[in-house]
């Protein structure tokens, strides 16, 4: 079967498979190291922050991506702040009460008391990192396989 027939049937060539695996490796490694790990560290940094009772102003499925807002009192003034990436309040609805931790010097930096352990983003860091390693192994295996095929065909 020639390359055009294989391409027409949706089969990737060996080089395309290696490139695809490398792209997925880079994507997953980037998500792990550049997004989820800093999110987990940020959440953990608020463990010793000031505590306040807050009301969810905006909630929903976008909470894990940083789309939730809370309103709370900090040092005599009302603060409306976004919960950070990795927040686990997607099932909550606007108007619900929760406990938050915030930085004393900047009340806009806030996280839910339930999230300051950083568990969600830390787990995502591990999963994305493991996926990156898996696709890297696949890329190496595919590269070795392609080289062996070339040697067999040339030999």
Cα three-residue angle 37-42-45, rounded to 5 degrees: 125
Give SS3 for 116.
coil
Report the share of the chain in percent with pLDDT over 70.
87
Within 10 angstroms of residue 52's Cβ, the number of other Cβ atoms is: 19
Distance in angstroms (rounded) separating the CA atoms of residues 46 and 42: 7
Read off the pTM.
0.72
Distance in angstroms (rounded) separating the CA atoms of residues 42 and 35: 11
Q: Which residues of 21-32 are buried (b: 16+ CB within 10 A; e: fewer)?
A: bbebbeebbebb
Residue written as tokens 């390359």?
3
Residues 95-147: pLDDT tens digits? 899 999 999 999 999 999 988 988 888 899 999 999 999 999 999 998 998 88
Mean pLDDT, residues 65-75: 87
pLDDT score of 55 more than 90: yes
Q: In which band, very low, low, confident or very high, does the pLDDT at 88 lie, cut at 50, 70 and 90? A: confident
For β-strands 97-102 and 50-58, DSSP reports them as: antiparallel
């Amino acid at each position: 079967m020639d390359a055009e027939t294989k391409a027409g049937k949706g089969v990737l060539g060996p080089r395309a498979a290696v490139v695809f695996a490398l792209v997925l490796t880079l994507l997953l490694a980037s998500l792990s190291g550049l997004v989820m790990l800093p999110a987990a560290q940020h959440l953990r940094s608020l463990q010793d922050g000031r505590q306040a009772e807050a009301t969810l102003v905006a909630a929903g499925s976008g909470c894990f991506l940083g789309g939730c807002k809370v309103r709370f009192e900090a040092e005599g003034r009302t603060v409306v702040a976004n919960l950070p990436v990795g927040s686990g309040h997607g099932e909550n609805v606007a108007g619900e009460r929760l406990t938050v931790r915030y930085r004393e010097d900047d009340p806009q930096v806030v996280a839910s008391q339930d999230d300051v352990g950083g568990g969600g983003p830390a787990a995502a860091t591990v999963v994305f990192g493991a996926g990156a390693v898996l696709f890297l192994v696949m890329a190496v295996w595919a590269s070795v396989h392609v080289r062996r095929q070339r040697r067999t065909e040339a030999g």
